[in-house]
């Protein structure tokens, strides 16, 4: 026991032991069972965390191990090729994905934030249509992406918008897919701004619009960006709806917004991974790393913006 080894004089040691005996007689000893339970709980938490981390690590490590022979500049700047996989690259797909995501962000930020502002600050929840809209947005967040692909094909590629199989159609389709994420996250962020802030601003004679824009939205900005990050992360990896709205698996020219074919990283990775030759599998693994790199560079801009504006409540 620690107390016996301590440099206290003998009488003090005896006193310390006596004090412990008294404490234990009053409160009872800490039960072993309780300690075991605590440890077990801690263990469960740690296991869960390990599983989550391991799966991410597994993907990364596998991609690096498989793809490392092809981690060169050709990967980024060359066009794809079915003849020489040793020098083939992802150029059109990288550009396609970048265009796609840029369009998604341009679409989801204003529409998502405006919807969230309406639902949090203006909608009268007593009205049935506001509750109906709210329910629908929550449900939309859980709709499988292929359904949005069909929607995009019917209404954006064909139908009323008739954009054809172009990047803009892909952007719009994926934007619709991730819009609920942005709306829900923005609503949370707006709700977290105390109503006293809005009241304080209105009481100074600011208009509702000025108060919402300069106080509520500026305070909710970090939370809204978090929603955008989540949405972009989902959008960049979507392949299924893109296949339906015209992303082709193999293009050798740079995409344009409103005309011509285009590809995207996940679609092209899917194409390479399905080929029999080993070299194409290496190329696919390297492509995963390219996609993660693109995602990280987009998100790092958002994270930098968020850190810059973060407020302490």
Partner 1 sequence: MTDTKNPDQIKATVIDQDSHMSIVMDDMTGVSMEDFAGRESVFNLSDVNVHYGNSLAVKDVSLDIYKNQITAFIGPSGCGKTTILRCLNRMNDLIPSARVTGSIKYHGEEMYSPEVDPVQVRKLIGMVFQKPNPFPKSIYDNVAFGPRTLGMSGNMDEIVEKALRDAALWDDVKDRLEDNAYGMSGGQQQRLCIARAIAVKPDVILMDEPCSALDPVSTFKIEDLMMELKKDYTIVIVTHNMQQAGRVADLTAFYSVVSNDEIGSRTGQLIEYDTTNKIFSNPKDSRTRDYVTGRFG
Residues that bind partner 1 (CB under 8 A): 124, 194, 196-197, 199-207, 210, 214-215, 219, 311-313
288, HSE (Cβ side, Cα atoms, 13 Å): 19
> Cα–Cα distance between 159 and 183 in angstroms, integer?
26
Query: What b-and-e string marks burial along 90-118, b requiring 16 or more CB atoms within 10 Å of the CB?
Result: bbbbbbbbbbbbebbbebbbeebbebbbe
Q: What angle do CA 51, 54, 57 make, to 5 degrees?
A: 155
The answer to whether 236 and 265 are in contact (CB under 8 A) is yes
The answer to whether 276 and 82 are in contact (CB under 8 A) is no
Query: What b-and-e string marks burial along 252-280, b requiring 16 or more CB atoms within 10 Å of the CB?
Result: eeebebeebbbbbbbbbbbbbeeeeeeeb
* DSSP, res 30: P
Query: Tokens 């690096």, residue?
Result: 64
Query: What b-and-e string marks burial along 33-47, b requiring 16 or more CB atoms within 10 Å of the CB?
Result: eeeeeeeeeeeeeee
């Amino acid at each position: 026991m620690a107390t016996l080894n301590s440099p206290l004089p003998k009488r003090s040691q005896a006193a310390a032991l006596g004090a412990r005996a008294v404490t234990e007689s009053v409160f009872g000893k800490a039960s072993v069972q309780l300690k075991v339970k605590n440890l077990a709980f801690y263990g469960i938490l740690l296991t869960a965390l390990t599983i989550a981390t391991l799966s991410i690590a597994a993907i990364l490590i596998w991609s690096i191990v498989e793809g490392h022979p092809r981690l060169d500049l050709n990967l980024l700047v060359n066009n794809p090729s079915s003849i020489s996989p040793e020098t083939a690259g992802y150029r059109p797909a990288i550009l396609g994905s970048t265009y796609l995501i840029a369009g998604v962000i341009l679409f989801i930020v204003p529409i998502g934030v405006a919807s969230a502002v309406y639902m949090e600050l203006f909608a009268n929840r007593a009205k049935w249509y506001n509750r109906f809209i709210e329910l629908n947005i929550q449900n939309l967040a859980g709709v499988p992406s292929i359904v949005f692909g069909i929607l995009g094909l019917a209404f954006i590629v064909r139908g009323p918008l008739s954009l054809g199989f172009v990047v803009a159609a892909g952007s719009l389709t994926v934007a619709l897919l991730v819009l609920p994420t942005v709306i829900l996250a923005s609503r949370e962020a707006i709700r977290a701004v105390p109503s006293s802030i809005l009241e304080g601003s209105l009481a100074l004679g600011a208009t509702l619009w000025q108060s919402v824009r300069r106080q509520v939205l500026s305070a909710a900005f970090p939370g809204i960006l978090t929603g955008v990050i989540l949405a972009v992360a989902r959008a960049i990896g979507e392949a299924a709806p893109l296949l339906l709205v015209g992303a082709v698996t193999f293009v050798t020219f740079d995409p344009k917004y409103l005309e011509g074919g285009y590809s995207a990283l996940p679609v092209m990775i899917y194409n390479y991974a399905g080929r029999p030759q080993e070299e194409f599998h290496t190329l696919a693994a390297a492509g995963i790393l390219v996609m993660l790199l693109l995602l990280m560079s987009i998100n790092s801009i958002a994270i930098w913006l968020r850190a810059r504006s973060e407020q302490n409540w």
